[in-house]
Structure 1
Amino acid sequence: MFTSIKYYIVILQYRNGNMGTSKTHHFSADQNEMAKIAKALAHPARIAILEHLLKVNECICGDIVSELPLAQPTVSQHLKEMKNAGIIKGAIAGNSVCYCLDENTIEKLHLYFKGISEKLSERISCC
């Protein structure tokens, strides 16, 4: 009896959209884009990849594998997430993909955080 009641509650929650959906439609396109980019950077390996690409300008996955203490499939997964978020671009170079930073996305990040920093500097301290 209790199992069927729990099942019924779960069905109602699902139908009403209360089952852990992200509700991204409640936010602006810019907010969703910044969240997507930030999420893709929310891992130290991805920050290390970003820093490596800043240093070398462009490289293939194998070059990144030799720089980081991660296996090739792990690096490939991180690159995929970063590419899906638009942080990096990839161009086919023979049998490999050559990766570089997407300057447009990096500029969007820069402007977004610069705007936050400017607004904070105009404020009177809150604490």
Structure 2
Amino acid sequence: MAHILVADDDDLLGELLRFKLEGAGHRVTIIGDGRSALDAALSGGYDLMVLDTMMPVLSGPEVLRALVQQKSRLPVVMLTARKGQDDVLDALSAGARDYLTKPFIPDELVARVNAILKTESARAATDG
């Protein structure tokens, strides 16, 4: 069971993600602003972060850049309404592992999260 940090200021979406990810066997923590999400991510204890772009205090891209600057190995999946090619390329170039646009298929998000976690688990097994 992985511990997933969901950073999104939309309470309804957060609860949908909690329902789907917990249904897939994961533990979920939801945080509604970028600063608190960054602090939580840097504190450790999470296996993956689902990160919205447009949030109060710090934006998703600011959180992602800060994680990279802090040399965090936490995999980040961007989940955002921003569909522009530049937005997608900027996030992936900055270190996001995946990028999904809203509206999205919840089961697809779960499948992508599980695929990243499987890759991370295999990497950890070969590193350790």
In terms of Rg, which structure is larger?
A: 1
Does TM, scored on the shorter chain, surpass 0.5? no
Bigger helix share: 1
Bigger strand share: 2
